[in-house]
Chains A and B, each alone.
Chain A
Amino acid sequence: MSNSPAVTAPKSLGSPGPKGRRISDKPNLGKPGGTNSGNANDGAGVHWVRSLGWKVVAIAIVLLIWQLASLSPLMDAGSLPGPFAVVGALIRLWGTAVYWVAIATTVKVWFIGLAICSVVGIPLGLAIGVSRGATRSTRWVIDFFRTIPTIALLPLVLLLFGPSISMELTLIILSAVWPLVIQSMYAVGQVEPVLKWVVKVFRISWLDRMRYLWAPSVTLLVTTGMRLAATIALLMTVSAEYIGGAHGLGEQLSHSENTFQRADVFAYALTAGLLGLAINLVILFLQRRMLWWHPITRGARA
């Protein structure tokens, strides 16, 4: 910077101030500045316990209805395993290696698939989003690939790769990459125009623009795309296993079904559900962690 000292360099700006936290320091995650008073916290605590109580009651009611249905004379005896039978099956499965290997396999394939989707989809989406010409040119193509049910390719991919990880990954990538591409494209448009002027006016370096303007600005939509992609990737993983016969939860599901172990079928379905829930919660947690400053996380009404 070539400031003329005659006009600028005022004395007060040269005076030493207290050592502030630097931009390079990690911002403290979580909510900065305690604004909640102790009383407010107590009130929230009581409310929290009460709402947890109601949640437990709701789950108990659902289980009770399920148990009654399984015992009802309308059902053929044993055709609907009750919650006790399913929990029993689940506990028995927890003691088997097959169960854990199945989960691990499914999670591994899901994760690899999602990782590839992110590495490909996010940069691609951002690159397309930056250019108006690219956005217009690809609109139709992306719209088309996004809406076609990729599962339709399963027979072809099965012929090509057999019931393997490659088969699963092909299906996962072809279906889960689109939400990431699309959300990343939108994300570019969400960068505050005034801030784009600010970085120009203050001549902020290219690298700093990336770190302090672009990265935080696109996080919300990119992570939203990530959540969608994660859900779709899990659906495709389990589908490919269930129909295509690759190893994992879906295969066990199909196996239990074919051997008429109904309680196991329910136990595996429940496992898949819990896995889906866990994935959702983890991504939501990470998203909130990264977006602690965002009005959505702060609970402010925009």
Chain B
Amino acid sequence: MKTLKNLAWELWLPIVLVIIWLVLSAGSSSFYFPPLADIMHDFGKVWFFNGIVQDLLPSLGRILLGFVIALLVGIIGGILLGLLRRIEEALRPVLELLRSTPGVALLPIATLFLGLGQEMKVFMIALACSWPVLLNTIDGVRSVEPVLLQVARSYRLTLWQRIRFIYIPNASPQIFAGGRLALAIATVVMVVTEMIGSPGGVGYFVLSTQRNFDLLGMWTGIIMLGLLGYLLNLAFRLAENRILRWHHLKNA
């Protein structure tokens, strides 16, 4: 009963918004804003299942590959730099510059060396996503309670044990926060690289339908990208809630 009420609270606005869109766009003759009903009709035709195989799966593969690479590089690099304080301090300006660079600005450089294919796209996603993960991991490793480290020393834990049982768990809330930001960046970079890169992918689909003035197709692509972004974020959040249960319980 209570959850039903909660659900009603959260769902009424989205439902109202969709209905407003449906009603306002019904019978619309605007070239740019076709009726939502038509878009939904086309959505089924375009995406089930040709579109999913041709464009969605490649996009999904790319973003996951790039994201996982970024996580690995960011976490491992972050732990190393977090432990090697001197080196991290010296590298700070370089890291800050690279982090602040809008990812798109590096796109021409990446295309110079990697071309317009899969490698460039995955590389760009991984590159742009690494920074939030890396910097948050460094902060997380740094913020370990000094008392815990004294405990670790008094029990003569090895370096690996300290990393495994103290540094990583302590940094994990911040790693996840960085990961969530990285995922948002990943979807943007994926769309951008697909738009300028070789054919294939939802981003490419949206731009090419626009170029052919197939506005209905374009709208289905936009909705698909919205769903993709939302569902990826949802999946990440579910994983976070599972892994960080101790953290959320502690803070509740």
> Is there direct touching of A and B in the complex, by C-beta distance under 8 Å?
yes
Q: Give chain A's interface residues, CB within 8 Å of chain B.
A: 51, 54-55, 57-59, 62, 79-80, 133, 136-141, 143-144, 146-156, 158-160, 175, 231, 234-235, 237-239, 242-243, 249-250, 253-254, 256-257, 262, 265-266, 268-269, 272-274, 276-277, 279-280
Closest CB of chain A to B233's CB: distance in Å? 4
Closest CB of chain A to B116's CB: distance in Å? 12
Q: Which stretch, B64-72, B162-170, B218-226, touches the partner chain A?
A: B218-226
Chain B residues with CB under 8 A of A137: 9-10, 12-13
Which residue from A79, A141, A277 sits with its C-beta under 8 Å from B112?
A79
Which residue from B10, B14, B86, B191 sits with its C-beta under 8 Å from A152?
B191
Give the CA-CA distance A57 to B86 in the complex, in Å.
12
Q: Does A149 lie within 8 Å of B94, measured CB to CB?
A: no
Give the CA-CA distance A148 to B206 in the complex, in Å.
14
Number of A-B contacts (CB under 8 A): 160
Interface size class of B (residues with CB under 8 A): 35 or more
Q: Does B210 lie within 8 Å of A140, measured CB to CB?
A: no
Chain B residues with CB under 8 A of A80: 113
Q: Does B222 lie within 8 Å of A156, measured CB to CB?
A: yes
Q: Does B9 lie within 8 Å of A58, measured CB to CB?
A: no
The 17 listed contacts between A and B (C-beta, < 8 Å) are: A55-B92, A137-B9, A137-B13, A147-B184, A148-B229, A149-B184, A149-B225, A151-B195, A152-B226, A155-B207, A156-B215, A159-B32, A175-B188, A235-B188, A239-B104, A273-B102, A274-B97
Which residue from B109, B218, B232 sits with its C-beta under 8 Å from A156?
B218
Q: Which 9 A-B pairs have the closest CB atoms?
A: A276-B100, A273-B101, A155-B210, A272-B105, A148-B226, A54-B90, A58-B90, A152-B225, A257-B108
Chain B residues with CB under 8 A of A257: 108, 111-112
Chain B residues with CB under 8 A of A55: 89-90, 92-93
Q: Does B102 lie within 8 Å of A152, measured CB to CB?
A: no
Give the CA-CA distance A46 to B190 in the complex, in Å.
46
B11 lies within 8 A of chain A by Cβ = yes
Q: Does A151 lie within 8 Å of B108, measured CB to CB?
A: no
Query: Quick one: closest A residue to B31, CB to CB?
Result: A159
Query: Quick one: closest A residue to B196, CB to CB?
Result: A243
Q: Does B90 lie within 8 Å of A140, measured CB to CB?
A: no
The A interface, classified by DSSP as helix, strand, loop or mixed, is helix
Within 8 A of A (CB), among B1-41: 6, 9-14, 17, 32
Give the CA-CA distance A242 to B104 in the complex, in Å.
8
Besides A57-B90, A58-B94, A156-B210, 5 other A-B contacts (C-beta < 8 A): A156-B218, A239-B104, A242-B107, A268-B105, A273-B98
Give the CA-CA distance A139 to B13 in the complex, in Å.
9
Closest CB of chain A to B181's CB: distance in Å? 8
Residue-by-residue, is B88-128 near A (CB-CB < 8 Å gives 1, otherwise 0)? 01111110111011111111110111000000000000000
Q: Does A250 lie within 8 Å of B104, measured CB to CB?
A: yes
Closest CB of chain A to B51's CB: distance in Å? 15
Q: Does B218 lie within 8 Å of A155, measured CB to CB?
A: yes
B230 lies within 8 A of chain A by Cβ = yes
Query: Quick one: closest A residue to B202, CB to CB?
Result: A152
Which residue from A136, A256, A272 sits with its C-beta under 8 Å from B102?
A272
Which residue from A133, A136, A253 sits with its C-beta under 8 Å from B108?
A253
Give the CA-CA distance A158 to B32 in the complex, in Å.
11
Closest CB of chain B to A262's CB: distance in Å? 7
Chain A residues with CB under 8 A of B103: 235
B76 lies within 8 A of chain A by Cβ = no
A235 with B102: in contact, given A149-B191, A152-B203 (CB under 8 Å)?
A: yes
Give the CA-CA distance A163 to B233 in the complex, in Å.
31
